[in-house]
Amino acid sequence: MRSALKTYILYVEDGRYAAPTLLTIDAQDDNGALADAQRRLGDSPHYRAIQVFEDERLVATVGGPND
């Protein structure tokens, strides 16, 4: 039996905008949400970093100044 999907919130730092873009995604777990964020970061030359949250818990930040 598969577990229910969890809803994650992505705060996307986009070089074109002053405020982060808010996206919601559904994923099986943290690893799935992080993989989605990583894919999005690689797909856009404008995305600088993505913070991944589940409810109020920060899962991770993908990208950023050191990437």
pLDDT confidence of residue 29: 97
pLDDT confidence of residue 59: 98
Domain positions in the chain are 6-63
The answer to whether the beta carbons of residues 52 and 10 sit under 8 Å apart is yes
Task: Return the beta strands (E) in the chain as ranges.
Answer: 6-14, 21-27, 47-54, 57-63
Give the model confidence (pLDDT) of 7-53 as tens digits: 999 999 999 999 999 999 999 999 999 999 999 999 999 999 999 99
